[in-house]
Structure 1
Amino acid sequence: MAVNKTVLEVTDRIVARSRPGRETYLAAMRRAAEDGPARAHLTCSNQAHAYAAMGGDQDRLATTRAPNLGIITAYNDMLSAHAPFESYPARIKDIARRMGATAQVAGGVPAMCDGVTQGQDGMELSLFSRDVIALAASVALSHNTFDAVAMLGTCDKIVPGLVMAAGAFAHLPMIFLPSGPMTSGLPNDEKAKVRKAFAAGETDRAALMQAEMAAYHGPGTCTFYGTANSNQMLMEIMGLHLPGASFVSPDTPLRHALTDAGTETILTQTALGDSYRPLYEIMDERAFVNGIVGLMATGGSTNLVLHLPAMARAFGIILTLQDFADLSEAAPLLARVYPNGLADVNHFHAAGGLGFLIAQLLDAGLVHEDVQTVAGPGLGRYTQDPQLPLNKPLAWVPGSTSSLNDKILRPQSDPFQPTGGLKHLTGNLGQSIIKLSAVKPEHRLIEAPARVFETQDAVIDAFKAGTLDGDAAIVLRFHGPQANGMPEVHGLTPTLSVLQDRGYKIALVTDGRMSGASGRIPAAIHLSPETMAQGPLARVRDGDPIRLDAEHGSLDNLAPDFENRTPDTADLATSHTGTGRELFSLFRDNATPATQGASPLFKGET
């Protein structure tokens, strides 16, 4: 199938826009590759320090040309998705030894859980934790003792941060080894009902706690299609996972077999052998376009609209919101996974999963097939499913040719909707995005008076006081990256849902983020320029008529004197101290706009 015209046009303009930076980047990666294995350039003292704790592996490291695999791990046992990584290094080292190679844990990176920090002060460190992860992983790999890298990370900021670090070391082969989703617990829609009942004062905290624990009950990623599982989809469709690896649950024979196979695969791709496959050959403009199309076709997390531009810049590639918007118009919505439907990712996987979805996108010409991947050339490999027959080795077989549940997953000839899950909004309030896949058509045009707030708590207090009853465009400002680190405001979802259910026209307009698990409320998010930079939100007043037209992509303040007002300011001192926030002023002061990824690591780049 020929590649779709819009996909080609977007790819071509990304290539043209990125050419100067991409050529400089590729030249640097090729120079690093030409230097050969970095360990060869270390002194004997350098190497002795690196191998001192390696026991029986010391001789192999010091006297042979066997590859040495670096492991970057985001393990901690506070995150359900990352707890399974505890056993990965020992397993990876065993596989490496069987192949005559070695493996070392190069370093660990922090991994915070947005589910724990939602509505808490720690959420103001969440986005910038991505950049900390990128820096920490780069420090670990700077020892230059590795011939390939295995990245162990899954959740919201961890995968983007690891990818950003990978861009600086992309002359090395790299693979991402996931942990997989937890088994299904209390259905997500049932959990959401309890949350709304608690917000409305109709149930008590004991019932809420029982529901939450029944939903989040074991190791693995949370089962809704939020940022963590959107990350997994991206790593697979961009060719950084083995085919079918994303949604296999932890601590199962197939999960272990895929980890083993991933280790074996990456160790065959080093510059020491005949099948050298550096990461920079995989992560090109086509791979990023494929990732965006996958995000749209699955109704993925809006957080990736922040992360993908930052990830791309690490490889010398520049993405814009218009790229996302145009690909969203071209890509039909083929999946409905909570919050865009009732199913969770385990149901999605059982219905045919990514193998079926990628096959449909290939058939429609909506993704590039001629890409490089860790599994070899061609995205067609990712239409296959891994299987582990009894007493037989892991094998890949043709994936399902039809959906096994058309309420969850559909062919491109019969999509849930003809366009993807994202819309680019523009108007006199700036640029923003809205996720439409879970917003009902009757809620996509909102014209309502503004109610202006500067904290989530103030919104909830107004709701409890009964002063929010009525149509309202909830304006939550001073929540951009320069103001307070751009926290998610997912904690408002139950409150705003109650108001919507009462029949009011409700919208959220903010320069902050919404969780990947949100979606029923029309929410114009990532508004840029942000309020802290004297963006348009700084001129909004209570009662201003706000018009959000998601179908036509517009967001405006209709007040006649809006453009001529003096911008408001805010005292944000309380958001800059406590819970470590005082240490992040360098990040806040240097963050790029949300449209560029909100990263302090690329300040000054165009």
Structure 2
Amino acid sequence: MKAAVAEVTARIVARSASRRAAYLSRIDKLAQRPRGSDRMGCANVAHAFAALPGTDKIRVVEERSPHIGLITAYNDMLSAHQPYESYPALLRHEAHHQGATLQVAGGVPAMCDGVTQGQPGMELSLFSRDTIAMATAIGLSHDVFDGALMLGVCDKIVPGLLIGALHFGHLPCVFVPAGPMGSGLSNQAKGKMRELYTQGLVGREELMIAESAAYHGPGTCTFYGTANSNQMLLEAMGLHVPGAAFVHPYDELREALTRESVRSLLAMMPRGRNLPIGKLVDEKVIVNAMVALLATGGSTNHLIHWVAVARAAGIQIDWTDFADLSAAVPLLARVYPNGSADVNQFQAAGGPGRVLRELLDAGYLHADVGTANAEGLRAYTRVPAIENEHLVWHDLPQASGDPAIIRPADEPFSASGGLKLLTGNLGRAVIKISAVPDDRHVIEAPARVFDSQEALLDSYAAGELSGDFIAVVRFQGPSANGMPELHKLTPPMSVLQGKGFKVALVTDGRMSGASGKVPAAIHVSPEASAGGPLAKVRDGDLLRLDAVAGTLEALVDAAVWDAREAAPLPPEQSLDNAFGLGRELFGGMRRNVTCAEEGACTWL
């Protein structure tokens, strides 16, 4: 084990000791109860199984067969979740074949950020994570299940399902992915078309053709954003059937992997290995997820989500932990936006299995952890296949399938994971530099201050942005407006950088896995609406973003800075005016949410 990884793990264990002990005590008490159909009153049991076929009632009540709860994020608005429509019947059939029973315990909401980008609905996006966690809890609160299967793939859905599952930590759980869509128009060509449209060089019709060629079928989007980062992390945590992440939804292998999730779950129940999710997800597993994220240049959203996930398991992590791991963990993968490959090409080059093998062999991952597969984390370094109608796993060839996409740990793309923590008088922020050109790692320029994404876009459209500048887009944090992703800023900022201007973005909002070649200090905490330093910045202030030194500073005289009052939240963003498309329903979350570094949690 690498010393830096061991050191970060040890301090997380020490920091979390009392909280983790209390969590484990709670789930142990729940696990020691009689099973639901024996413990509950007869009317409760009758209600729970009223709609089951008679043979299933006999199995679960009289024969005490294992009973599985299914939580599904199915809807066909999300291309990644459309394949889940047929999963309940498939999983129920496999459960019967294994002598178990299964019920859909509940559905959870799942919104598509691609649809809501730059729209009012995006203000609900981050809060949908905790809503999903609560919906998961509602489904499992019927309390008659011996284990649970979780169906979800995309941005907030997997973290929400995982947080909800960890609040039922006495149950074994397995996550069931659905896979990426086939490759369409390349991510680079799509990005270039967006830049051309931003410059007025092509029209809406041409842009629509390009976007439709990029997003064209069932499965996750093919860039390595939050959705596909989710799948990488679940593999590293051992919560999938090994190798399930990036198999196409309609490959014959997908059904075999989905059926295997039932067998894996049954083996984790008390009559088997007795491995509930609350014990599986320990400090070492959380660190493994962090390492896998950094080694693949994954989504910055997980610096928020995995803090919340860890918290749900009684574990406390922070951005310093991420930064220290990033300094020690090599970058082994180049997948768009920090490379040219899409996730299908990443999979063809060896995918998660090759990355995890490199990290394990080089001592960057904890091998002594529990997983959904009885063979442990090493099983996740192999790739699945169908042979003679049976699911098998094979070792990958020693050499990378494409060294331009995945490299060995001793010949990485970069010695560090490409994530930096920035600190200074503007607060604490993170920056993903894996795709940022080396000559743009330090930007010193005057501030241009905007109180919304739309204000910056309007200024660009009016031709008001030129020269070197650092755009400060504030009042975009969790308590201000739900911390929307600011993807719409990428094309204009990229165009300006392409013209030779030194530009950067500083915001208390999010950029997600789509943050790319323009330096962006994001998630600035404390946020402006909480009186954070971004509220003090004025147009023309000289700012310095230094990803080499790890600093984020307003180069303003200290006395002037200290005396300056913070700008107030714009009236149109106040809770009194947050109406339309259901935003008013989330006012309580905005009032109670923690800061980004604390996971933007709305629960205790």
TM-score band w.r.t. shorter chain: over 0.9
> Secondary structure of the equivalent of 1:325?
helix
Aligned equivalents of 1:513 and 1:345: distance in 2?
22
Instruction: State which of 584, 587, 594 in structure 1 corresponds to 2:586.
Output: 584
Contact 1:81/1:180 (8 A) holds in 2: yes
Displacement of 1:65 in angstroms is: 0.8
Give the letter aligned to residue 86 of structure 1. Answer: E
Contact 2:337/2:515 (8 A) holds in 1: yes
Partner deviation per Cα, 1:457-477 (whole Å, 9 max, x = no partner): 111111111111111100000
> Secondary structure of the equivalent of 2:513?
coil
Equivalent pairs counted in the alignment come to 598
Aligned equivalents of 2:408 and 2:562: distance in 1?
47
The answer to which of 97-106 and 50-59 deviates more is 50-59
Give the letter aligned to residue 484 of structure 2. Answer: P
The runs of at least 4 aligned residues of structure 1 exceeding 4 Å deviation read none
1:252 maps to 251
Distance 1:84 1:575, change over 3 A: farther
> Secondary structure of the equivalent of 1:373?
coil
The answer to which of 506-515 and 397-406 deviates more is 397-406
Give the letter aligned to residue 346 of structure 1. Answer: N
Give the letter aligned to residue 552 of structure 1. Answer: A
Displacement of 1:377 in angstroms is: 5.0
Instruction: State which of 400, 406, 424 in structure 1 corresponds to 2:421.
Output: 424
Displacement of 1:517 in angstroms is: 1.7
List aligned pairs for 1:247-396, cutoff 5 A: 247-271=246-270, 273-389=271-387, 391-396=388-393
Contact 1:131/1:599 (8 A) holds in 2: yes
Contact 1:244/1:354 (8 A) holds in 2: yes
1:182 maps to 181
> Secondary structure of the equivalent of 1:439?
coil
List aligned pairs for 1:8-87, cutoff 5 A: 8-56=6-54, 57-87=56-86
Displacement of 1:59 in angstroms is: 2.4
Contact 2:226/2:298 (8 A) holds in 1: yes
> Secondary structure of the equivalent of 2:247?
coil
> Secondary structure of the equivalent of 2:109?
coil
Aligned equivalents of 1:274 and 1:245: distance in 2?
22
Aligned equivalents of 2:602 and 2:273: distance in 1?
36
Contact 2:266/2:272 (8 A) holds in 1: no
Displacement of 1:396 in angstroms is: 1.1
> Secondary structure of the equivalent of 1:372?
coil
Contact 2:24/2:279 (8 A) holds in 1: no
2:172 maps to 173
Contact 1:238/1:288 (8 A) holds in 2: yes
List aligned pairs for 1:512-591, cutoff 5 A: 512-560=509-557, 561-569=560-568, 570-571=570-571, 572-573=573-574, 576-591=578-593
> Secondary structure of the equivalent of 2:323?
helix
Contact 1:245/1:258 (8 A) holds in 2: yes
Aligned equivalents of 1:136 and 1:281: distance in 2?
22
Displacement of 1:520 in angstroms is: 1.1
The answer to whether 1:506 aligns with 2:503 is: yes
Displacement of 1:512 in angstroms is: 0.4
Q: Structure 2 stretches of 5 or more lacking a match?
A: none
Aligned equivalents of 1:531 and 1:575: distance in 2?
18
Aligned equivalents of 1:454 and 1:486: distance in 2?
13
Instruction: State which of 585, 598, 601 in structure 1 corresponds to 2:600.
Output: 598
Displacement of 1:540 in angstroms is: 0.2
Contact 1:514/1:525 (8 A) holds in 2: yes
Aligned equivalents of 2:423 and 2:374: distance in 1?
41
1:201 maps to 200
Partner deviation per Cα, 1:196-215 (whole Å, 9 max, x = no partner): 00001010000000000000
Aligned equivalents of 2:24 and 2:374: distance in 1?
20
Aligned equivalents of 1:497 and 1:378: distance in 2?
43
Aligned equivalents of 1:348 and 1:376: distance in 2?
26
Aligned equivalents of 2:343 and 2:272: distance in 1?
38
Displacement of 1:575 in angstroms is: 5.8
Distance 1:387 1:575, change over 3 A: farther
Give the letter aligned to residue 348 of structure 2. Answer: A
Contact 1:433/1:527 (8 A) holds in 2: yes
Give the letter aligned to residue 276 of structure 2. Answer: P
The answer to which of 60-69 and 205-214 deviates more is 60-69
Give the letter aligned to residue 216 of structure 1. Answer: Y
Give the letter aligned to residue 299 of structure 1. Answer: G
Contact 1:434/1:525 (8 A) holds in 2: yes
Displacement of 1:38 in angstroms is: 2.7
Give the letter aligned to residue 435 of structure 1. Answer: K
> Secondary structure of the equivalent of 2:158?
helix
The answer to whether 1:479 aligns with 2:476 is: yes
> Secondary structure of the equivalent of 1:388?
strand
TM score, norm. by length of structure 1: 0.98
The answer to which of 443-452 and 51-60 deviates more is 51-60
Give the letter aligned to residue 77 of structure 1. Answer: D
Aligned equivalents of 1:425 and 1:519: distance in 2?
17
The answer to which of 593-602 and 49-58 deviates more is 49-58
Give the letter aligned to residue 253 of structure 1. Answer: E
> Secondary structure of the equivalent of 2:242?
coil
Partner deviation per Cα, 1:119-139 (whole Å, 9 max, x = no partner): 000000000000000001001
1:97 maps to 96
Contact 1:370/1:377 (8 A) holds in 2: no
Partner deviation per Cα, 1:504-554 (whole Å, 9 max, x = no partner): 011000000003122111000000000011000010000000100011110
Contact 2:436/2:518 (8 A) holds in 1: yes
Q: Structure 1 stretches of 5 or more lacking a match?
A: none
Contact 1:446/1:506 (8 A) holds in 2: yes
Give the letter aligned to residue 529 of structure 2. Answer: M
Give the letter aligned to residue 161 of structure 2. Answer: L
Partner deviation per Cα, 1:376-406 (whole Å, 9 max, x = no partner): 25311111111112x3300111123221111
Partner deviation per Cα, 1:565-590 (whole Å, 9 max, x = no partner): 01110212386111111111110001
Give the letter aligned to residue 4 of structure 1. Answer: K
> Secondary structure of the equivalent of 1:248?
coil
The alignment's C-alpha RMSD in Å is 1.0
Aligned equivalents of 1:415 and 1:281: distance in 2?
33
Aligned equivalents of 2:278 and 2:103: distance in 1?
23
Aligned equivalents of 2:556 and 2:464: distance in 1?
22
Partner deviation per Cα, 1:317-350 (whole Å, 9 max, x = no partner): 0001100000000100000000011100000010
Aligned equivalents of 1:357 and 1:318: distance in 2?
26
Displacement of 1:562 in angstroms is: 2.0
Contact 2:236/2:356 (8 A) holds in 1: yes
Give the letter aligned to residue 394 of structure 1. Answer: L
Give the letter aligned to residue 472 of structure 2. Answer: V
The answer to which of 375-384 and 501-510 deviates more is 375-384
Displacement of 1:275 in angstroms is: 2.6
Contact 2:299/2:513 (8 A) holds in 1: yes
> Secondary structure of the equivalent of 1:175?
strand
Aligned equivalents of 1:592 and 1:353: distance in 2?
35
Contact 2:531/2:566 (8 A) holds in 1: yes
